[in-house]
């Protein structure tokens, strides 16, 4: 973790009382801003906080789906904590498109737009080598911003564990670990093993799909 980083939780001091989305303000328990190593080369982006993240303020943590995600981080040596302990991350940063949770629905397009400045600031300040969109919505939003391919041409099932060259970053999409099959999990771990086996830093800035 960066030597100057004082906290893994919301390390950039983003607004923890944001009121940009009134309906979400009424339903959230707390805001889940980004969490992890500010010097990370790998940035994981989900759609919205899970119920566990809404309770703990930590993306991808605090419930069954969060534990499935944390298992993958531990398998990749990004995380070292025991199950149910607050994540201890190295070279990985976790964040979401929208920072607040509605328990009964996915975020609206307007709510995602309201949170874009938070996500854009995190990406700019971390400047990762690899962005991992987790789930269909995250893939399409990130692909729209960082590739030249129309968003509708992406599909999380087909693009899972593949490398997509973009503008400034390489994307490696991932199906939500909470619904992955064993084969999909192994495919993702193998994709990262392949990344680690070569100099992935040379991919940054290459143009492509």
The CATH number of residue 103's host domain is 3.40.470.10
Number of domains in the chain: 1
- Nearest residue to 156 (alpha-carbon basis) of 47, 75, 36: 47
Q: Given this model, what pLDDT does residue 208 score?
A: 45
- Is residue 91 included in any domain, yes or no? yes
In a domain, 90, yes or no: yes
Q: How confident is the chain (209 residues) per 10-residue block, as mean pLDDT? A: 71 95 96 96 97 96 94 94 83 98 96 97 95 97 92 95 91 96 97 86 51
**pLDDT score, position 206:** 45
d(CA 148, CA 9): 33
CA quadruple 97, 163, 9, 74: dihedral, nearest 10: 130
In a domain? residue 70 = yes
Query: What does pTM read for this prediction?
Result: 0.92
- Domain assignment present for residue 102? The answer is yes
182-196 vs 64-75: helix crossing angle, rounded to 10: 40
Under 8 Å between Cβ of 10 and 34:
yes
Q: Give the full edge-to-edge strand order of the sheet including 92-96.
A: 35-36, 92-96, 42-46, 130-133, 170-171, 164-165
Residue 39 lies in a domain: yes
Q: What integer pLDDT is reported at residue 84 of this predicted model? A: 72
Domain assignment present for 43? yes
Does any domain span residue 130?
Answer: yes
For 51, what's the count of Cα atoms within 13 Å in the CB-facing half-sphere?
A: 7
In terms of residue numbers, what domain contains 61?
Answer: 28-197
Other Cβ atoms less than 10 A from the Cβ of 32: the count is 31
Q: Can you spell out the DSSP letters for the chain?
A: --TT---SBSTT---TT--S-HHHHHH-SS----EE-TT-SEEEEESS--HHHHHHS-TT-SSHHHHHHHHHHHHTTSB-PPTTSPP-BSSEEEEESSSS--TTSPPPHHHHHHHHHHHHHHHHHH--SEEEEBSHHHHHHHHHHH-SS-GGG--HHHHTT--EE-SSSEE--B--GGG--HHHHHHHHHHHHHHHTTTGGGGTT----
What is the C-alpha to C-alpha distance for residues 88 and 160, in angstroms, rounded to an integer?
26
Task: Report if residue 1 sits inside a domain.
Answer: no
């Amino acid at each position: 973790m960066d030597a100057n980083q004082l906290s893994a939780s919301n390390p950039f001091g983003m607004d923890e009382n944001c009121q940009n989305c009134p309906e979400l303000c009424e339903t959230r328990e707390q805001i889940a801003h980004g969490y992890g190593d500010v010097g990370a080369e790998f940035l994981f982006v989900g759609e919205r906080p899970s119920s566990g993240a809404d309770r703990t303020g930590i993306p991808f943590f605090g419930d069954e789906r969060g534990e499935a995600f944390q298992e993958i981080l531990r398998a990749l040596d990004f995380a070292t904590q025991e199950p149910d302990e607050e994540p201890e991350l190295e070279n990985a940063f976790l964040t979401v498109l929208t920072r607040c949770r509605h328990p009964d629905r996915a975020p609206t397009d307007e709510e995602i737009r309201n949170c874009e400045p938070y996500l854009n600031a995190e990406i700019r300040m971390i400047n990762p080598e690899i962005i991992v969109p987790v789930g269909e919505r995250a893939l399409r939003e990130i692909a729209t911003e960082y590739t030249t391919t129309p968003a509708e041409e992406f599909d999380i099932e087909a693009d899972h564990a593949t490398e997509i060259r973009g503008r400034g970053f390489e994307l490696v999409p991932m199906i939500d670990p909470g619904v992955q099959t064993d084969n999909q999990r192994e495919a993702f771990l193998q994709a990262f093993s392949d990344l680690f086996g070569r100099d992935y830093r040379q991919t940054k800035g290459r143009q492509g799909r």
